[in-house]
Amino acid sequence: MNAHDLIKDVIKEKGTIKTVYWVACGGSVIDLYPAHCLINAESTSIDSEVYTAREFKIMAPRKLGSNSLVITCSHSGGTLENYEAAELARDRGAAVIAMTNNAGSRIDNGEWPCWVYEWGNDVPTAQIPSGMSLSLAAELVNEQDGYEDLDTLMAAIGQIDGIVAAARTKSVADMGDRFAHMCKEHDFLYILGSGPNFSQTYGFAICSLMEMQWQNCCYLHSGEYFHGPFECTEDGVFYFLQMGSGRFRPMDERALDFLKTHTDSLMVLDLLDYGMSDVAESVRDYLDPVVTYAINCELRAERGKLFDHDPDVRRYMGKVEY
């Protein structure tokens, strides 16, 4: 499958798409968020919404129908909330596209197109949900409104794999040891970011640290930080700032200026230090999260080594009833 043909088929079957709903849970909804941002920023005819899947089912939009496209992703393929949301969307006449790592799973049952992807550090971004979702968004906007940066974006999705590979190595050298030790010295940290990259601020918190390292932390938006949360800032409180390379960067820079002078416990992941300046400015914001995610994975691995806590270990997920 590919984004171009999937979108062509949707338009052929449904005509104009008025609203796209990105509906998933946890790490999967995180991967879809930059594509949601792309549609809202670049489309002249489509609104985009993001839902955690169970909320979508509980209070489904009244306008969900034949001019809607619901895109869902379930890595395991088994997440019931996602399946039920997709079912509801189909019953209401919406187009549905699913993504999963698990061919033949619940979500890949023939009821709607399901794009099966491989997983692992060697799989190109174009073929994992972060890239697939951007391609779907860009193809849809292009098909319906014209998207002048379509080719630029597609080229950048290809280009990002080399940047990611270099960022993995460099980030471990730059930050791995210090991050792990900062986690030893602090019970808790704040992670800050903005724009599409905020998805990986949330992701670093709930997936890499809470889920995979049992590390207490909180995610904050770099802009919202000044509307309340910054009052907590003082020496001894650990902040990890993810600085984007694009249009949202001024928000992160403002946070940096404040943090540098108001806490002695600051770490900064600056995407301009990791090759993002090579990516075309018009699409850079949408790719920042791909690099941030890769670095998040490296840092959690480094923490895991120091704490002797394998990131693949779970105590509850898939192990107990809930």
Tell which positions 138-167 bind a second copy, by CB under 8 A. Answer: 145
What does DSSP assign to residue 312? T
Site size with a second copy, rule: CB under 8 A: 72
Nearer to a second copy, 167 or 195 (CB): 195
**Region binding a second copy by CB under 8 A among candidate stretches 7-15, 83-91, 159-167, 218-226:** 218-226
| Integer angstrom CA distances of residue 186 from 96, 175, 189, 236 | 44, 16, 7, 8
Question: What's the CA gap between 271 and 284, in Å, rounded?
Answer: 10
Q: Are 92 and 60 in contact (CB under 8 A)?
A: yes
Told to check if 42 binds a second copy by CB under 8 A, we report yes
Cα-Cα end-to-end distance for the chain: 35
**Region binding a second copy by CB under 8 A among candidate stretches 2-10, 122-130, 131-139, 202-210:** 202-210
Cα torsion angle, 228, 230, 231, 237, sign: positive
Which of 5, 15, 16, 58 is the binder for a second copy (CB under 8 A)? Answer: 58
**What residues are paired with 266 via a beta bridge?**
239
**Region binding a second copy by CB under 8 A among candidate stretches 4-12, 158-166, 186-194, 265-273:** 186-194
Q: How far is the CB of 29 from a second copy (least distance, A)?
A: 8
Told to check if 113 binds a second copy by CB under 8 A, we report no
Which of 181, 184, 260, 314 is the binder for a second copy (CB under 8 A)? Answer: 314
Which residues from 237-256 bind a second copy, rule CB under 8 A?
237, 247-248, 250-251, 254
Which of 12, 59, 110, 235 is the binder for a second copy (CB under 8 A)? Answer: 59
Which of 23, 27, 77, 153 is the binder for a second copy (CB under 8 A)? Answer: 27
Told to check if 322 binds a second copy by CB under 8 A, we report yes
Q: How far is the CB of 6 from a second copy (least distance, A)?
A: 22
Question: What's the CA gap between 35 and 273, in Å, rounded?
Answer: 24
Element (H, E) at 217: strand 217-221
Binding mask of the shown chain, residues 255 to 294, with x at each position contacting a second copy by CB under 8 A: --xx---x----------------------x---------
Angle value at C-alpha 16, between 101 and 127, nearest 5 degrees: 20
Which of 6, 7, 22, 26 is the binder for a second copy (CB under 8 A)? Answer: 26
Q: Are 112 and 98 in contact (CB under 8 A)?
A: yes
Which of 151, 178, 310, 317 is the binder for a second copy (CB under 8 A)? Answer: 317
Residue 169, classified by CB atoms within 10 Å of its CB into exposed (0-12), middle (13-18) or buried (19+), is exposed
Q: Could you count the other beta carbons within 10 Å of the beta carbon of residue 231?
A: 8
The structure tokens listed for 227 are: 């509307």
